[in-house]
Amino acid sequence: MNVARVQEVLAVNVRRLRKEKGLSQVALSRATGGFVSQATISTIEKISTVSVPGSDTIVSLATALQVEPWRLLVDPDSAVARLVDSLMSMDPSGRELIEKIIEREVATRKDR
């Protein structure tokens, strides 16, 4: 994924989540404690930034929007998002089993 695609996904996700929460850009800025200005939110949503905002900005927006930070950077229709959603909807024992399988697979690949 290139920077332009990250900017696009970030813009769409921030706008979508902000609207789902019924927040204006000003209200979202306030929800970040003023850490992220309304002007910055507007710039992010317009996909007109020269670079992707820093991690502090992304974490602050995610916290205000009540989502994990990675949710702002991943297309909600992507396989990754669907996989995580499926994993999180499992009961704890099923989730633990899947996590062990993944850990084993990662360890096996590192040994190659």
pLDDT, tens digit, 9 for 90 and up, residues 57-107: 999 999 999 999 999 999 999 998 898 888 889 999 998 999 899 899 998
Phi-psi region of 22 (alpha: psi -120 to 50; beta: other; left: phi over 0): left
For the chain, the domains span 3-73, 79-111
Question: How far is 58 from 36, CA to CA, in rounded Å?
Answer: 9
Q: 88 versus 16: which is more confidently predicted?
A: 16
Q: Which one-letter DSSP state was computed for residue 89?
A: H
For domain 3-73, the CATH architecture is: Orthogonal Bundle (1.10)
**pTM check: above 0.85:** no
Question: How far is 82 from 90, CA to CA, in rounded Å?
Answer: 13
Does the pLDDT at position 48 exceed 80? no
**Per-residue pLDDT band at 49 (split at 50, 70, 90):** low
